[in-house]
Every structure is written in C-alpha cells, then in structure tokens.
Chain A
Amino acid sequence: MKMAFTHFETTLFLALFASAVLGVVTKKTDRERLMYGLTSFGYFLATVFGLGWLMYLGHR
C-alpha cells in the first residue's frame, strides 16, 4: 500500500500531530492542553499560509 499526499495535506497532518503532542506534554490541565494545542495548530497554519503567499508573490 502506498500513500501520496499533497504538500498541503502533508503539512496539515504534521501540524495536527505536533500540536496534539505538544499540547499533551507541556500543559497541566486538560483545558490548558486543549487551548495550547489549538493555538499552536493555528500558528502552524498561519505560518503555512504566510510562507505560501510569500513564495507565490516572490516568484511573480
């Protein structure tokens, strides 16, 4: 079985797993873990879109 994701899907999955793991291991309460996980996932996404646009505009 072979799997092939696009660049965007790959980044999305990696961001999701990294955020979940970081949330679980760094915070003390469940609420803090959830908020940290969501925040870091948001930052990952913002970075992906930001750098994506930067590269797009830089190559025009």
Chain B
Amino acid sequence: MSEKPEIQYPPLPPLSKWLPVLVVAWLFPGGGHFYLKRTYRGLILSGCILVSFAIGLMMRGYMFQPAGGDLLTTVIYYGGFLANLATGLPFFMTKWFGYESADVAGHIVDYGTKFLVAAGLFNILAMVDAWEIAVGRKD
C-alpha cells in the first residue's frame, strides 16, 4: 500500500493577519473574499448565500432556537441554530427587525427552513476558504 505524501503547510501567520478576515467573512457573507481582493469569487459566494437566505425568509422558514431533549432534538435544534448563526449579519438583522417566522407545519415553510440552514453552511465554507487564503494555504 502506497503512503500518501504529507502536505507541508506554511506556519500560521499572527492572529492579526487572519482574524479580521474571518470576522468579516462571518458577518458579511463573501466579505472575507472582498477583503482579500478576490472580488469575483466574493461576488459569487455573496450572491449564492444572500439569495439562499432571502428565499428562505420569503418562504417563511423557521430560525432554530437552541433546545435540548432527546439526542435527535438536541442535534437538530443546536445544529440548526449554529448554522443560522453562521450567516452573520443577515441572521442578526432578521432577529432585530422581527422577520423570523413561527415553526408551522407545511412543505413550503420546511423548504424555507432548509434554505436558511443551507445559507449558513455555505457561509461556513466561504469562511474556511477565506481563512485558507489569508494564512497562505490557498491562492
């Protein structure tokens, strides 16, 4: 069996170099890429995340609140909350301006909830990508 070659990453730069990128990337979807002058990639990420989020809101998707109980409930509600939180500023603005909807039964609302969660997960991918560019592991 052949061994996989070990990837040599450059040493991690100081916190001041990548933390602002991570914070901007979290608060404004695609913002980390704009900050690092990757405009086109930032535009694509920003567009996909914000449109997903807007569709989720307009389909009256539910924003998860952390809730415990059995294992499945805990995973779904805490996981959903973290994914919603990962959207950054759009999440907080929705809360501040009272645009969040109640958790009601129905397939349209359910799809909306999935779009809101998906937007948060997309933003986590964008944050990781921006961080990798900031620390020099990626171009």
A-to-B contact residues, CB < 8 Å = 1-5, 7, 10, 13-14, 17-18, 20-22, 24-25, 28
Contact = CB atoms under 8 A, between A and B. Distances in A.
A interface secondary structure, majority: helix
Interface stretch (B10-18, B49-57, B72-80, B83-91): B49-57
Please give me the 6 A-B residue pairs with the lowest Cβ-Cβ distance, nearest first: A3-B58, A25-B129, A17-B48, A21-B122, A10-B111, A25-B125
Contacts, number: 53
Interface in B81-119: 107-108, 111, 114-115, 118
Interface residues of B, number: 24
Interface of B: 41, 44-45, 48-49, 51-52, 55, 58-60, 107-108, 111, 114-115, 118, 122, 125-126, 128-129, 138-139
